[in-house]
Structure 1
Amino acid sequence: MALTGKLTKKLVENLGAGRHGDGGGLYLVVDPSGARRWIVRVTVKGQKNRLGAPLRTDFGLGGADVVTLNQARERALEYRRMAKQGLNPRFNAAREIPTFAEIAQQVHIDRMPTWKNAKHGQQWINTLRDYAFHKIGRMPVDSIEQPEVLMCLSPIWTEKHETARRLAQRIKIVLDVAKSKGFRSGENPVTAIHDAQVLPKVKAKPKHHKAMHWQAVPAFYADLQARDAMAAKALMFTCLTGSRTGEVLGMQWGELDFEARLWSCPADRMKGGVEHRVPLTDEMQAILEPLRAMQSDYVFEGQKRHKPLSNMAMLMLLRRMKVEGVTVHGFRSTFRDWAAEVANAPREVAEMSLAHKVGSDVERAYARSDLLERRRALITAWSNYVTGHNSDVIDLAQARFQAEN
């Protein structure tokens, strides 16, 4: 049987600032800001306050935007029953269920030591903030089911599919943690949505970074060699190694072993979370050696002392050189194309040179070698090609490029 009182749903939504009684000790409190919340006043049988009077206490029942009128009446009735039996609701009521946002924030804090870096940790919570908190953030975590999850995912499922996929994973984690703490029960709604294939299948569109034809790289590299800017040095090194922008710009002198002719990029700076060894060629070392004199913490120092170049420095250099339709990351694709079309490099050697994972988890468990010496031979051949030290190959490549264009 439904509980009744003086208030209605329409009044709850429209009453002005003040304290509005529903009956039975239940009140709707509307702040001057417009925020609305429920409280219930009860008198605990047989208990006295410090002055010896009957113990009368107010309890908050939650915001009116989250707790409905009927839910507030049911909770108020539960509190009055406990008070009538001489039980103080403060110590005997079912514990307060936290909101989705509260659990999410706690998960974020608890997992801070495990984030790959601070930026990754911030991206994790930002996704929830941007696409979930304004819809379900203030809801008790035990009241979130499939409709609420779909309310977050559906608007971006096709247009921003990768973001939506990550959002689903993060909502699932928050709800799983809530269940482990006893705030939820039953199946995770994200799992149910996935298993039932409620959302349409979205064919992933591969994102290709705009890359320079490998035939054009020697002439481009010669232009870079004529420039003194630090961005030019960094871009030369990036072209030769096929490394990612962040890996090159974050490089510090302690990662380099000139005697062993190796650059060891630590795991915490690698996308795959595994240390990557890059063979150093004569040309690479020729770029690095003069920079030692700067005695900077970073190999490619930016405008601020002991700080690396900006992530945009190399891209802006490309723009100043009027090199259109090419990205810095695209030079990885350029190297990969050359390795396949010219060097005929085995797939695993070429992929490992780019720090890509090769094979299944089982295969990688048995393949302990990173093929360093085979990769050294490949990267040396690429370096010789780029710098013009292998004229026969360059002439052949240029002839093919001109024939194709």
Structure 2
Amino acid sequence: MTAQVKTLAVKLSDAEIERNAKKPHVRDLRDASHPALHFRFSKNRARGSWYLLSKRTWHRIGGFPDLSTKQVVAALPAVRLRVAADEGANLSKWSTTGELLAWYAERMARDRNLSEKRKKTGASMIKCHLLPRLGDLPLTGIDKAVLDSQLMWPLQESISIDYVRSVFQLLALAFRQAFKLGLISSNPMASIKFNDFSKAKVGIKPSRLRGTQVQDLISRLLGAMANNPSDGLLALLMLCHGTRIGETRQARWSHISLAEREWFIPAEHTKTGVEHRLPLTDQVRKVLISYREIQQSKGYDGQFLFPSRNGKALSEGQASAVFVRLGEGEWTSHDLRKLARTGWADLGIDHLIGELLINHAMGHNVKVYIQSDVMSRKRDALQQWHAHLDKKGFDQIHMLTGVRFGDSGNALEVTEHKACEANQESTIGEVSKHAERASAWL
């Protein structure tokens, strides 16, 4: 009877492993050139594990075929050093930084908790900056000097320091996640900080819209509501509530409760991933009633406040184009948000209420101590803000009806004082008619 052979000394290669996988009496393979390197077959003999035998202790390096023979042999000196330093022997299945980044890019693309904008931004950073500069770099080659010469210093020559910081943070996050999941044995980015490379402060861009410009701004929005009501309302809602462009462009009529005077923004539409509720003032409610009539008069009875031609909500690019038209290079959508937040502060609105309205991320303790009357306090704040906007011309917008907005493709001409009085008299009856016709969705 032939004795069972447990360990066989061979010149290890992937092909040698595949040949011996067909021999059930062989359990282990030992490399003739590297006696401390062992391979052990698993029950499924197409797979197995790599080990380093040191001082009679077996240290697992990784699995086969995730790690090829070539990868293990190449990393063997580094593995010996880690074992000697009592840092473990586990070796990643990746050999280059590009492989780790490709894994993380796919992970981001499939993460339902990330917004589409963040996914696209992350994918762009990896494709345009990280892979071209670090893709071929071995994982073991990541250090401060290499990052400085190959990534950080070249990037700061051509793009803003804010964006350079974002690229660095994405790289650090990818390594941190891989290490947390045990996909790499050590994290070379753990002790590397952004200020190792640059002491430049990330700037806070000042708003290009100031309180003194509100009257001119509203005058421009009045013209926009006449020429293109969709453009005008998109900007107006952001000015009135300080919402983000992504939160606003995706608004649906089912999110608007005119009866309860509330605008609900679902969590999947917010940057913070938390649902957001905003009170609707009487002024905004009138504008929405008129706007819905405009949509219906043009044959649209769909679900979106801002539909695109394909029947979906305006895309990010289409919404940005609205502000290219409205701002004419002087201001952007985010400047409306900044203007609202600054306006609330100037009116003396409580800081916490302002932060809740703007939907900034709030700490856990703050959320715990928020009282139940927060909606009424937010309503009071918006009523103050919209009353202030009324003094700057907002009243000329919400006192006009949908019929008047939709009658002409030209900008509305409002005669000072006289026209305002006429509008006020004629709208009272029309608003009540709107309410009757819209009762199904009020």
Alignment of structure 1 residues 47-126 onto 2, 5 Å = 81=33, 95-96=67-68, 97-98=93-94, 99-111=96-108, 112-126=110-124
Name the SS of the counterpart of 1:278 in structure 2: strand
Specify which structure has the bigger relative contact order, considering alpha-carbon pairs within 8 angstroms and separated by 6 or more residues.
2
Deviation at 1:198, TM superposition (A): 2.9
Q: Deviations over 1:53-90 (max 9, x none)?
A: xxxxxxxxxxxxxxxxxxxxxxxxx977379x998999
Partner of 1:149: 147
Q: 1:141 to 1:311 in 2, by over 3 A?
A: same
Distance 1:86 1:44, change over 3 A: farther
Tell me the number of residue pairs that the alignment of Structure 1 and Structure 2 aligns: 318
Which residue number corresponds to residue 382 of structure 1? 385
- Whether contact under 8 Å (1:210, 1:330) holds in the other structure is yes
SS in 2 for 1:208: coil
Distance 2:309 2:140 in 1: 51
Contact 1:141 1:183 in 2 (8 A): no
Task: Measure how far apart 1:154 and its partner are.
Answer: 2.9
> What is the aligned partner in structure 2 of residue 273 from structure 1?
273
Structure 2: stretches of 5+ with no match in the other structure = 1-11, 23-29, 42-46, 51-60, 62-66, 69-92, 396-442
Letter in 2 for 1:106: W
Q: Shift in Å at residue 114 of structure 1?
A: 4.3
Name the CA shift for 1:142/1:282 in 2 (closer, same or farther; >3 Å).
Answer: same
More displaced 10-residue stretch of structure 1: 273-282 or 294-303: 294-303
Match of 1:295 in 2: 301
Between stretches 88-97 and 290-299, larger displacement belongs to 88-97
After superposition, the CA RMSD in angstroms is 4.0
Q: CA 1:249–1:44 in structure 2 vs 1: closer, same or farther (change >3 Å)?
A: closer
Look up the SS of the partner of 1:277 in the other structure: strand
Higher deviation after alignment, 135-144 or 272-281 = 135-144
Which residue type is aligned with residue 374 of structure 1? R
Displacement after TM superposition at 1:180 (Å): 5.1
Q: Quick check: 2:215–2:393 contact (8 Å CA) kept in 1? A: no
1:325 to 316, 326, 330: 330
Residue of 209, 212, 219 corresponding to 1:211: 209
TM-score by length of 1: 0.65
> What code does the residue aligned with 2:105 have?
H
Offset of 1:250 from its aligned partner? Answer: 0.8
CA drift of 1:296 comes to 1.6
- Whether the aligned pair in 2 keeps the contact of 1:142 and 1:184 (CA below 8 Å) is no
Counterpart residue type for residue 315 of structure 1: F
Contact 1:44 1:86 (C-alpha < 8 Å) held by counterparts: no
TM-score when normalising by structure 2? 0.60
Q: Report deviation, 1:233.
A: 2.8
Tell me how far apart the structure 1 counterparts of residues 16 and 226 of structure 2 sit (CA, whole Å): 86
8 Å Cα contact 1:100/1:174 also seen in 2: no
Aligned to 2:192: 193
Tell me the CA shift for residue 260 of structure 1: 0.8
Q: What corresponds to 2:134 in structure 1?
A: 136
How far apart in 2 are the matches of 1:139 and 1:357? 37
- The answer to whether the 8 A contact 2:207-2:339 is kept is no
The one-letter amino acid paired with 1:279 is: P
Query: How far apart, CA to CA, are the structure 2 residues paired with 1:283 and 1:391?
Result: 8
- Structure 1: distance between partners of 2:222 and 2:14: 84
